[in-house]
Structure 1
């Protein structure tokens, strides 16, 4: 029980702090009394004293939970109408009853909450537990089948697998994974145990992948089986030309097939994966197409490296285009050296000025005899004058200007 400025706040279930019952009040809480089966909050409102009676059923639920008497807790909740507080309590009871393996109570909880899938699952589990208890005696919930199903309900599938494997129930493990469409785990168990249905399982898995349009996963299955052409076809069908290209570049037999390479390259270019297309063309020694793709995809580092080996006359032009691209990307610093490599002194100076690399700009200008750079002298001189570094703007560097 707590109080804010204008409300009495009651939490009947401390496990759900967001479920709070509030009553408006004008005074201050002074006491909490419990007598004759009633719990009352005592509030002073000026000279008067007022009492607020709390819901005894909700309080009794908490007491039953503390005592571990889940049947009593269920009986209390069944007398209450569904509201935010009772919904929170049903959830609490469902969790606790599952932990205590009181599965019939848990089933009743999920029925109250309207969770149909868990009702059905627990109903089947209860039938298994009751049947085992009737046939063999004892507590049916201790059986490995029931333990495995409860682990499945908690989404702990590896624990469920462990319970089955301890009893060498291989078929039941595989059936569980198939029902959950966890085919990889199912096949892994079948492989580990040398199951005679392994090949059929693989075929069923592939058929299911194709039916559900999981082309990438189907391609991975084909790749793992060594059917690389089939894997490439499925990767392309899935719209994954880059993955198909990686596979092709790792297999000499695929690289030897012009049809496969052309289909992959076409898909890469269509998807604007120009750098990957360049890698593929370079791998099959089609250097001209590789260079075109690198340039189109702005992969200038690879373009220059390839040009140094295959097209030396293109290197200077590529360095200038690389510099232009970097300027467009506002990477002035990086563009400077590429312009220098291409012999574009004016662009190099402009990039240095744009990057505010004044010393570098001045150094580039000093090395040139081109009179077209005189305006660059002026910009540099104006900068040094603005920061009063007059020593930097003296002869012979600025012969045209007097300061």
Structure 2
């Protein structure tokens, strides 16, 4: 599965090292956990077997009539054997004698993972140091000091101490497990301290709320101050909103350049809608940010339909504009439908556009558009023929008839003769 044209494959006896042949290549995996890390030798024959003894391992290759031995790295093989035996101290000793190569780096990573699982923390610390992961090595060093102190004072395995278990959970980024371990020991302060150190203030405050901690309000103030110091106005606004301070939240949203969020909050609270100055400030910010549709929603909510309609039109929110106009400005509906059609033409939504021209009762616009860029849409799709007929049937024949030849000529240029021969078009074209 991991090697094409494989003619030979075998485990090295007493280890997890894998040897295989691929045509003229001898492939060796010293760490099968990292299959991409493969050591390769060029050979001129076929592998016929493995021999291990006297402290060395050789791959026997028949090259013509001669048998040639290729010696493998015994140190790397011994590492695999030590891992299989669970002897991590021996595995560490072997790795320390080797130079850092991609193969040995993969082995250090494997050993670090296994050592953590076995709670052999001193070995895990050594692994992270070898890999150059300084933060993890330092964190484990501090953890080891706690475990060693507990072992000296109380005996037994210091790794079973709750602080050690919690720190190992933190090392794996399983913060909820670490929190649970702390709270099982009623170590609320330590759980909160963990989250504060990580700047996970939401979780810290949640713990304080759950346990009724007396420093809850102080924590909230500290969190808010940290958000402001780090210029996270949006998150600070969300915090103020969750605490019921709508005015402060809106101020922060506007400061963060998020007028849409401020508008959303205002639209949900009647007491904020009653604040005329506040609403004007938000709508001005929305218009400045070209968020016309949201500004129109806000104007409509405060019963200013004229401003709402203007914003809807600027934002091309024609559906809302037409709905509002039907109630407040019926005479504007026709113009809005025409503008809606123009907008759809610009968006290449041709069939949809003609329907709005029809709604606007602009028969001459819908038919005569073939003469200009505004309405040439319907001449670009033969599927619009039914719409042509709809126009022909629903508008004044004298007005529409002068455009029949033009439509017929267009379909002729597309070689769509069946359409051109329509009784409607044929009759008028002949005239």
Unaligned stretches of 5+ in structure 2?
1-18, 370-376
Please state whether the residue corresponding to 1:343 is helix, strand or coil: coil
TM-score of the two chains, using structure 1 as the length reference: 0.95
Give the corresponding residue for 2:64.
46
Q: How many residues align?
A: 402
Counting only pairs closer than 5 Å after superposition, residues 79-228 of structure 1 correspond to structure 2 as 79-228=97-246
Q: Is the 8 A contact 2:169 2:177 kept in 1?
A: yes
Is this contact kept in 1: 2:408–2:425, CA < 8 A?
Answer: no
User: 2: CA distance between counterparts of 1:118 and 1:171?
Assistant: 23
1:354 aligns with 2:380: yes
User: So what's the TM-score if we normalise by structure 2?
Assistant: 0.89
Cα contact 2:420–2:426 (8 A) shared by 1: no
Query: 2:307 matched to 1:281?
Result: no
Matches within 5 A, 1:340-379: 340-349=358-367, 350=369, 351-356=377-382, 357-369=384-396, 371=398, 373-374=400-401, 376-379=403-406
Q: What is the Cα-based RMSD across aligned positions, in Å?
A: 1.9
Specify the alignment match of 1:337 in structure 2. Answer: 355
- The answer as to whether partners of 2:95 and 2:104 remain within 8 angstroms in 1 is yes
Query: Separation in 2 of the partners of 1:74 and 1:172?
Result: 34
Contact 2:405–2:425 (Cα < 8 Å) also in 1: no
Could you tell me how far apart the structure 2 residues matched to 1:200 and 1:363 are?
71
Superposed displacement of residue 103, structure 1: 0.3
Matched, 1:75 2:93: yes
1:399 equivalent in structure 2: 427
SS at match of 2:429: coil
1:302-313 alignment to 2 at 5 Å?
Answer: 302-313=320-331
SS at match of 1:399: helix
Whole-Å separation in 1 of the counterparts to 2:131 and 2:219: 38
Is the alpha carbon distance of 1:391 and 1:288 closer, same or farther for their aligned partners in structure 2, counting shifts above 3 Å? closer
Residues of 1 paired with 2:130 and 2:297: CA distance? 61
Task: Measure how far apart 1:62 and its partner are.
Answer: 0.4
Alpha-carbon spacing, 1:46–1:346, altered in 2? closer, same or farther (3 Å): farther
Aligned counterparts of 1:3 and 1:63: Cα–Cα separation in 2: 22
Give the distance between the partners of 1:44 and 1:256, measured in 2 at CA: 93
Deviation at 1:203?
Answer: 0.6
Counterpart of 2:338 in structure 1 is 320
Distance 1:2 1:360 in 2: 72
CA distance in 2, matches of 1:47, 1:270: 87
